[in-house]
Amino acid sequence: MLEEVAFLLAFFLLGIASYYDFKSHEVPDFLCYLFLFLGLVFFAVNLFTHCSNLVLLSAFSAVVFSLAMKFFGGWALGDVFIFSGISLMLPEFNGVAFFPFLVFSAGVLSSAPFVLGYCVFEVFKNDKAKQSFLSLIRRRFFKELGFALVLFLVFLFIEGVETGIGAALGYFLVFFAVSFYKASKDFVLREVKKVNELMEGDIPAVSIDEKGRIVKGFSRNLVVSSMNADGLTLDQIKKLKSLGVSELVVRKSIPFIPLLWAGLVLAGLIVFYIRVF
């Protein structure tokens, strides 16, 4: 019963958070804190009732995963609070352990066709991106064809012709999808903005040090860091102007919370299917 309550509560709150994320690309702080607070409350109840080692491992690994995503620049702090809260509320669901990872994976998979479709459309609309994609295909086509042939032969002997063809075609689909992503990464999923056009919350795609230089990798004394997905502050924008920086490459972000909401629904349906069938 506690798990069902936690699921419905997470569904309701994620719906509200998704509305804000779609509307303004920013979830109010009180909602982020509420997710974390409720996660701690539900986890404490679990801890003193029927908590197992597997549940502890599931919750702990999911929280560590969210912190790692923050550290490497994938998520903002609000995303960490929300995902960690859900992980503590639902470390398992109806006997399915590591449920938070199922939610995350389901969200990514449900959004993949839309993201890929957007990348394909934008790549062929942008001449530079299209040339980058065609260049990648020309450079790697025969090498990837060799890998696909090896896969075909391996699965041919193990499972048969149909499986071999499926494995080879699947590999080529992944190759084309990755190529589209690489081509769109610099020309579609990023844009160059004049410093005067920067807005609070824009996510930098490059790091700038105190001398106004672009820095790669980890470094101290940075004015802005590409590893910070929380976005630019007004003070950072003023600092860039004072350093004489004329433009900055920023990331085009995709709202994450709606994907998480979709992932929760899809993961719930998967668990329901497992339980029923």
Residue 96 and residue 19 in one domain: yes
Residue 9 and residue 103 in one domain: yes
Residue 206 and residue 156 in one domain: no
| Confidence band, pLDDT 50/70/90 cuts, at residue 82 | very high
- Tell me which amino acid residue 109 is: L
Residue 18 and residue 61 in one domain: yes
pLDDT given at position 85: 94
261 closest CA partner among 140, 142, 108: 108
Residue 234 and residue 163 in one domain: no
Residue 156 and residue 238 in one domain: no
| Confidence band, pLDDT 50/70/90 cuts, at residue 217 | low
Mean pLDDT within 226-255: 84
Structure-block tokens of residue 79: 């995303």
Q: What is the pTM of this model?
A: 0.79
Q: Which residue has the higher pLDDT, 32 or 187?
A: 32
Which residues on adjacent β-strands are paired with residue 18?
none
Residue 40 and residue 84 in one domain: yes
Residue 119 lies in a domain: no
Please write the tens of the pLDDT for every residue from 142-190.
888 888 888 888 887 777 777 778 888 888 888 887 887 777 777 777 8
Residue 164 and residue 144 in one domain: yes
Total domain count, the chain: 3
Owning domain of residue 243: 192-251
Residue 91 lies in a domain: yes
Q: Are 190 and 205 in contact (CB under 8 A)?
A: yes
Residue 257, SS3? helix
Q: Which residue has the higher pLDDT, 36 or 115?
A: 36
Residue 113 lies in a domain: no
Q: What is the CATH number of the domain that holds 49?
A: 1.20.120
